[in-house]
Amino acid sequence: MARSVLITDSLHSIAYDLLSESGIKCVDGSSWSRDEILDRCSTFEGWIIRSGTSIGEEYLDRATSLKVIGRAGVGVDNVDLKAATKRGVLVLNAPAGNTISTAEHTMAMLLGLARRIGPASASLKEGRWERKLFTGSELFGKTIGIIGIGKIGRTVAERCLAFGMTVVGFDPVLTQEAAERIGIELTDLETLYERADFVSVHTPLIPATKDLLNRETLAKCKKGVGVINCARGGIINEEALLVGLESGHIGGAAMDVYTSEPPSHNLAALLGHDRFLGTPHIAASTDEAQEKVARQVTEQVIRALRNEPVLTAVNTMAIRLAAQPEVRPYVVLADKLGLAARQLFPGKVERLVVRCHGDVPRKYKDVLQVIALKGFLSSSWGQPVNLINAQVVADEAGLVRDVETFRPESSFSNLVELHLEGADTSFSITGTMFSEQDVRITSVDGYEMELKAEGHLLLYRNQDRPGMLARVGQALADEGINIGSLALGRKVPGTEALTAISVDQPLTREILDKVSHIEGVRHVCMLEFMP
């Protein structure tokens, strides 16, 4: 059955072209009502939206085939990330496509405020010639405070610096060194409010940024400050903004986004204020930006549906980092170790520890923990488990997780070990990579051996004495089972050994029972690695 993607907002035609070229059916649902979407969304594996569609629990409950949501743009506050993550639905965005357009629109708003272009144009259209009323100010020498210095914030900063402005900024993540490289003076919010002639916000809308600029914080700003929001509606409290404009404390405000869109009638006084400059959420509405975001999000959705690495995942860091070439071989390794551990550990697991030995595994320890967890749970849980919801599923199961790092102590420079603990027993399995296609298990529960983690493996413990391998080999030969390769491991000669035999096909329960009844053989099991 062909994969299919639903598009419920207006999107550049490049999205439809790319999907069709990839053999993916695309359906335009941009004119569908809420009820139509609910009735018809169950069969789609992908869903691409802009800001007009909000995907929450109601839609996600009906979209039972959904694997990936693509947001053509940056902000994803119109997607219930928690609900999507719990269901194992990947959420992607297109963070770079509209950067230039949004930054340029911010600069247009900044210039519009400084030179009072909006009211001057309106006055001229009404037949008046009132030059003295619209005396503005230069940007040169002024200070702009930028709140949120991500891609768009940085791009705005670069353009403001080119105008000869001083740029002060606040960002909870950006380091002082990185800010200095851009030319931004990093400061706290209180200082930013005190110094800035203009304040421009470029943050996502999250609980910490909702109403960030309110009556209290706006009162801390310079008298006559210009305020700009081309990010997300709700970061600036619109009621407080109107009060500031009417009192004269705020010299001007420019907004492209609003708490509700289209704006409600309650905003009529703000929109009509002569020192307010507004546009209808068009910061990213350029031909170039629309094509860029549509192309970027569609390409990522296609990659996700093909189970290929993606770079713009929003609801899981593991997916983004797992796409890095350096770690990809160890992603394969950690996944196979998790899969093997679940099959080889018979009891209930209470604690799972990923131990990373060597530079590369240690660098990506948190990613490898999620990968191993996904491999472990995917063969034992009653619901689909992937990199997105693995930690949620583990939390619900009460599974304690940990990650430890070590310097390499064996002949292998980079190793990943998965250690499981139950109520009264424990188990560990260790592996390394020779290449992305060559995963090697190097130790099983303390037995050192080297075997490829692929195909069908018969594992058993046996007394370490002559003739044991011959007896098992004969039992398999009697059943027409061909042996591909084998590996042996033992701790102390003459006690107990662990044997792993690669066979060409899965073994039936009857054959496993036959092997287990050979004198000196115990703990017989099959280890299956899916291709």
Q: 336 near 439, Cβ under 8 Å? A: yes
Give the DSSP H/E element, type plus range, for residue 225.
strand 225-229
CA distances from residue 501 to 87, 325, 346, 408, 506 in whole angstroms, order as listed: 38, 32, 20, 28, 12
Report CA 396 to chain centroid distance, whole Å.
21
Say which of 36, 194, 216, 261 is annotated catalytic.
261
Q: 72 near 299, Cβ under 8 Å? A: no
Q: Is residue 188 exposed (0-12), middle (13-18) or buried (19+ Cβ within 10 Å)? A: exposed
Say which of 105, 159, 232, 273 is annotated catalytic.
232
- Return d(Cα 448, Cα 441) in angstroms, integer: 9
Structure tokens at 145: 């405070």
- Return d(Cα 446, Cα 449) in angstroms, integer: 9
Q: 431 near 383, Cβ under 8 Å? A: no
Q: Dihedral through CA 220, CA 225, CA 231, CA 233, nearest 10?
A: 70
Is 232 catalytic? The answer is: yes
Backbone angles phi, psi at 500, to 5 degrees: -125, 125
Structure tokens at 250: 């705020």
Q: 71 near 94, Cβ under 8 Å? A: yes
Is 281 catalytic? The answer is: yes
- Return d(Cα 507, Cα 26) in angstroms, integer: 43
Q: Give long-range contacts, CB 8 A cutoff, 24+ apart: 462-468.
A: 462/496, 462/497, 462/499, 462/520, 462/521, 462/522, 463/495, 463/496, 463/497, 463/520, 464/490, 464/493, 464/494, 464/495, 464/496, 464/497, 465/494, 465/520, 468/497, 468/499, 468/518, 468/520, 468/521
Is 261 catalytic? The answer is: yes
Structure tokens at 149: 């210095």
Q: 227 near 218, Cβ under 8 Å? A: yes
Q: What share of the chain is helix, strand, coil (3-state, %, to 5)?
A: 35, 25, 40
- Return d(Cα 174, Cα 179) in angstroms, integer: 7
Structure tokens at 196: 């800035």
Structure tokens at 93: 């965005």
- Return d(Cα 331, Cα 337) in angstroms, integer: 10
Say which of 71, 202, 281, 440 is annotated catalytic.
281
Residue 2 gets which letter from DSSP? Answer: -
Q: So which residues are the catalytic ones?
A: 232, 261, 281
